[in-house]
Structure 1
Amino acid sequence: MTMLEYQQEYWKKSIDYWQQTNPFFSSFSRAYRYLDTLYQLQNPRPKWSTPNNIIYEHQTLRLRHFSNQRHNDAKRPVLILPPQAGHHSNLADYSPSQSLVRVFHRYGYDVYVAHWVSATPEFKELGMNDIIRLTDEAVDQIRERTGIYKIHLVGQCQGGWQAGIYTSLYQDKISTLVTAAAPIDVQAAPSAIVEDAGLPMEFFKFLVAANNGLMSGKYILWGFKNMQAEEHYVRKYFRLWQMIENDDEDGIKRFIHFENWYEYTQMLPGRFYLDIIKNIFKENNLTKPGSFKLDGRPVDLRNINCPVIIMAGKKDHITPPAQAFALKKYISTPPQDVVEILTEGGHIGTLMGTEALREDWTAVNEVLQLAV
């Protein structure tokens, strides 16, 4: 045993002794652990859980390739589009046990993820048309790399309507479209986000102007938290204290891991954010064929005719199921080629929850096996 290890063991035994013999010391120790845990969360740093390489980079896009170590066959590649809602894109690869990337790996797919990085002032004028352009660049990189003409496209939350728009413009490049917890018809069911979008456009422009043309993810995060204020400002901290009292080390690790992802925020191009507010949440333009154009091309979901899988969460308060499942009404895909999956979880649970990944996303993969 080294001197350092001896000292660590000595102090551990000393603390254990005082905790058992002195109730005040035990309470003080728990309080210190509680505050120390919160201190660790002051500078969140999300990480990817599965080895990957950046194979293409342009503006706010980093295209990551997650090489499949289990399978080397030429199965059709999958591109995952995580949401651009102020959070980190590693939502698609949150942890070894909660990784959508690894679910697709188990079924032999070649997996790619669009990693959207925090925007700098240089890119504040990127709009929705630019994000679709960058998506197309990612798709073309995959097609060129693999030699496969059509790929599977998977969109999570806002990445879902992004995937829908992209497929409507480039249907010839997409084999199957998967959307999960994606707002398509925001008038199909009430939600807090749609209510908030009812504020004057000047309010959203002010938020962007406050950051010199960028939209801060912190503002978006505050909006999400305020939808469940008691949970985010009270209950979760009470649960942390209970975990410390019960010496629930696994629970504490899970708490820290999630908070490191949830509390990390990044900047969005201001113009892109305002395009979203206007076209998706204020005017509900995805339900109005040709109501807006991207690079001169009208957006019309009726151009989608490939097999489509739509996922929604039964308890989703951000994107209620009706908003997500409405996609089937606006596409040309035959009804027999549209699969609807209702998970038991909420919004984040549908995207990366253990149960959803084990059951619902596995079902997605089973369906994709049948796609040509």
Structure 2
Amino acid sequence: MSRQAGLKSLEPSANYWSVNFAQDALAYWIDAWQRSVLALDVMRERSARYQVHAAKLAPHVLKFDCELVMDGRSLPRPVNYVLARVKPPKGVTIDASKRPFVIVDPRAGHGPGIGGFKPESEIGVAFKAGHPCYFIGFLPDPVPGQTIEDVATAEAAFLERIVATHPQAEGKPAVVGNCQAGWAVMMLAALRPELFGPIIIAGSPLSYWTGVRGENPMRYTGGLLGGSWLTALTGDLGAGKFDGAWLVSNFENLNPANTLWSKQYNLYANVDKEAPRYLEFEQWWGGHVLLNAAEMQFIADELFIGNKLSRGRLATSDGTQIDLRNIRSPILVFCSRADNITPPQQALDWILDIYSSVDDIRAHGQTIVYAVHETIGHLGIFVSGSVARKEHDEFTSNIDLIDVLPPGLYEAVITPKGAAGKDSDLIEGEYLVRFEARTLDDIRAYGANDAGDDREFAAAARISEINLGLYRTFMQPWLRPYMTEGMAGAMRQLHPLRLQYEIFSNENPYMKAIEWIAKCVRVARQPALESNVLWQAQCSVSDAIETSLNAYRDMRDTLLEATFHAIYGSSLLQALVGLKADAEEPHQPHPMTAAHAALVRQHIAEIKRRVSEGGPREAALRALIYVRLPEGVIDERGFNLLRALRREAGKGYTLEEFKRVLREQFLLVLLDEQRAVAAIPGMLAKDPGLARRMAAAVHRMIDAVPLRGEEAKARMAEVDHYLEQAADETEKGPADNGRKRPHAVELRHSHVQDPRGSKH
């Protein structure tokens, strides 16, 4: 046989291909039909769960047992919010000395519970770290007449109860504000700073105008709709209530590929394993709640379109200004580059709105930490198990470290524990978190508005006020009398997001047989192989549909952005709405008040007078700050050693005392580095025995986390000399604090800006 004939005999025959294709076609047809039935049954079950969930008095999706502590409806200014104590699961031991964690869920269209949606969640990691845990949630229907300010008053009462319940806890409650709850928590913390420990705001938009051109066009929506008059219309059509389903619709419109295709296709394609996850998520996603029309109008006018919170223009009903600079607790901002609802600019640029520099942050005694995830989406910030195991776990286990960080701006950088090498025994959990000093330029690097952008959004806010005034004058008076609660309820039931649950419910006669057919299908299930050519064709078609919808989204977003800039970038329109020439200047952070400037000056003078006060404990902290300052990095290894330093110091400090002393020593080094360091020998000499223990502790801490830079090493050599000098002079007599510093070490002094303009 020739070579050519031999090769030909090895090629699959036409009959072979036809037989295999027929087998694939039959297998795929059976599989596709079965998947269709099973997917319909999942949709039927989803509708059944929706009806059961909606019928509950207080529906939520918490996976933890809880008990009611306070009902907001019983307060003098009643609201539909409640405070619940979350019960720890079996096997979890709560440490009564640890600060409680309070999870506040967003009221942004969905029901409560997303903070405890899974065992691995914000609540789950708080329990893992041994903290008592509380949850602030809400009922589906608002109390008639309640306002955003009433809600803030209720949450203050909740925190007062928690503080009173845990008098033995080291520190005030740590409060987690998710998404829209973030701005609510920040508003309350500015009004009642004494109630708060560290604040974690996750995926929370605080600077609504800010963004990067060509990305995340949701911020243009208010201007393109002509302002908040549509919010007022929706509230009037709801007989004084705003349907949260419209907010959910806005979220879904951002990603039409997922909304119109991918979510349902993934269920259909992977119905054998996808159903539990799909049903669990849809129970929360479909739990739509209501807001009072006045509440939603406040959110739209003051925050979404007005952007008044971060610019210091928001006030309470009695005229009290809500100034975020009043917050005294450390603030940890967690956001993601992949979040198209709260991109990093909206999560972080409020810092640029209210502070002019890091020195300004320090002058206000503020500590701000931020962490930026690279890939997780908006919902993943709250529900992703991987985020809970890494970011939320690290934030929770290091909450006391965050609470004692010196004033300033830091970025939380999380790395695997294995990279720490021999120091891994000082790390709790699987990751090492370190806090690296940053400047405002690091925030600007994520993107920010220019003067033209701010002017356009200011014009949109003016147009919104005009259109809202026209609506309230000419349409609202005759529309409101005709809208009854019955009509509003019927309209809510016909909302497309609610209607889909009705279509697939057991009330639909065509769905009654699906449950029985699905049981039969599960018994005789025959999934097709992934090598099936028709299965592969199905995947290709799905990818093409998703790609097409993404292309449509990109074109739509580009058009919407261009339209916004074309309308509100018009000089004529800006002049017509009264924008003056000074509006062309970039937004400047609101200046420090005269009273606060005087207080800062007094505080600086008082701290500098105490440069020689304190003993070996304060001297050890001061020496560590001086040595580590050039590196600008603090991590949990050093903090765990500081815990040991507190214990070794004898009496020890409470957390509040330790925080006060650490911050004071930090500021002393910043304000007058030479005098602060020169005073160390005299402070050590006040208690020779304790001084020797503190000197040994300082060396252990430096050895455990080695120094990296040459300047830090030079400073350590200088500190070593002082420690040795203190030991020698303890034997000889009182130390001379006024002697000159022995080493000719060139130092780059850090400064805090005095309100008068001079530096210290």
TM-score, shorter chain, exceeding 0.5: yes
Which one has more relative contact order, counting CA pairs under 8 Å at least 6 apart? 1
SS at 1:285 equivalent: coil
- Residue among 374, 386, 390 paired with 1:355: 386
- Residue among 147, 157, 179 paired with 1:127: 147
C-alpha change, 1:141 and 1:295, in structure 2 (3 Å) is: farther
- Contact map agreement 1:127 1:272 (CA 8 A) in 2: yes
Distance 2:300 2:149 in 1: 14
C-alpha change, 1:26 and 1:239, in structure 2 (3 Å) is: closer
- 5 Å-filtered alignment, 1:68-217, equals 68=88, 69-97=92-120, 99-120=121-142, 123-147=143-167, 150-189=172-211, 191-198=216-223, 199=225, 200-217=227-244
- Residue among 356, 360, 366 paired with 2:397: 366
**Do structure 1's residue 56 and structure 2's residue 70 form an aligned pair?**
yes
Give the Å deviation of 1:223.
Answer: 1.1
Structure 1 letter corresponding to 2:232:
K
Which region of structure 1 is more displaced relative to structure 2, 190-199 or 107-116? 190-199
Distance 2:144 2:257 in 1: 34
C-alpha change, 1:328 and 1:367, in structure 2 (3 Å) is: farther
Give the aligned partner of residue 66 of structure 1.
86
C-alpha change, 1:295 and 1:142, in structure 2 (3 Å) is: farther
- Contact map agreement 2:105 2:136 (CA 8 A) in 1: yes
SS at 2:153 equivalent: helix
C-alpha change, 1:142 and 1:35, in structure 2 (3 Å) is: same
Distance 1:74 1:109 in 2: 9
Task: Flag the structure with larger Rg.
Answer: 2
Structure 1 letter corresponding to 2:85:
H
C-alpha change, 1:38 and 1:169, in structure 2 (3 Å) is: same
C-alpha change, 1:23 and 1:325, in structure 2 (3 Å) is: closer
- Contact map agreement 1:124 1:271 (CA 8 A) in 2: no
Distance 1:284 1:25 in 2: 56
| TM-score (ref. length: structure 2) | 0.44
Give the aligned partner of residue 345 of structure 1.
376
- Contact map agreement 1:310 1:325 (CA 8 A) in 2: yes
- Contact map agreement 2:118 2:124 (CA 8 A) in 1: no
- Contact map agreement 1:124 1:268 (CA 8 A) in 2: no
Give the aligned partner of residue 327 of structure 2.
304
C-alpha change, 1:33 and 1:205, in structure 2 (3 Å) is: same
C-alpha change, 1:181 and 1:65, in structure 2 (3 Å) is: same
Give the Å deviation of 1:30.
Answer: 2.3
Distance 2:381 2:280 in 1: 18
- Contact map agreement 1:124 1:270 (CA 8 A) in 2: no
Distance 2:218 2:296 in 1: 14
Give the aligned partner of residue 273 of structure 1.
296
Distance 1:154 1:119 in 2: 23
- Contact map agreement 2:176 2:201 (CA 8 A) in 1: yes
- 5 Å-filtered alignment, 1:239-250, equals 239-244=266-271, 247=272, 249=273
Distance 2:396 2:342 in 1: 23
Which region of structure 1 is more displaced relative to structure 2, 332-341 or 47-56? 332-341
Give the Å deviation of 1:71.
Answer: 1.8
Distance 1:156 1:47 in 2: 15
**Do structure 1's residue 36 and structure 2's residue 41 form an aligned pair?**
yes
SS at 2:63 equivalent: coil
- Contact map agreement 2:64 2:86 (CA 8 A) in 1: yes
Richer in strand (by share): 1
**Overall identity of the aligned pairs, in %:** 20
SS at 2:198 equivalent: strand
Give the Å deviation of 1:322.
Answer: 1.2
Which region of structure 1 is more displaced relative to structure 2, 152-161 or 294-303? 294-303
**Do structure 1's residue 323 and structure 2's residue 346 form an aligned pair?**
yes
**Could you say what the CA RMSD is over the residues aligned between the two structures, in angstroms?**
2.1
- Contact map agreement 1:307 1:333 (CA 8 A) in 2: no
Structure 2 letter corresponding to 1:339:
V
Distance 2:179 2:277 in 1: 23
Deviations 1:86-139 (A, max 9, x none): 112110111223x2101111111111111111124xx24222111111111111
- Contact map agreement 2:183 2:206 (CA 8 A) in 1: yes
Give the aligned partner of residue 669 of structure 2.
none
Give the aligned partner of residue 17 of structure 1.
none
Distance 1:303 1:325 in 2: 17
- Contact map agreement 1:128 1:294 (CA 8 A) in 2: no
**Do structure 1's residue 47 and structure 2's residue 47 form an aligned pair?**
no
SS at 1:342 equivalent: strand
Give the aligned partner of residue 527 of structure 2.
none
Give the Å deviation of 1:73.
Answer: 2.3
Give the Å deviation of 1:163.
Answer: 0.9
SS at 2:309 equivalent: helix
Distance 2:315 2:366 in 1: 29
Give the Å deviation of 1:333.
Answer: 5.0
- Contact map agreement 1:305 1:333 (CA 8 A) in 2: no
Deviations 1:12-66 (A, max 9, x none): xxxxxxxxx9876554332211111111222423532011111111231111111
Give the aligned partner of residue 638 of structure 2.
none
Q: Which runs of 5+ in 1 are unaligned?
A: 1-20
Structure 2 letter corresponding to 1:194:
R
- Contact map agreement 2:329 2:366 (CA 8 A) in 1: no
C-alpha change, 1:272 and 1:295, in structure 2 (3 Å) is: farther
- 5 Å-filtered alignment, 1:18-29, equals 26-29=31-34
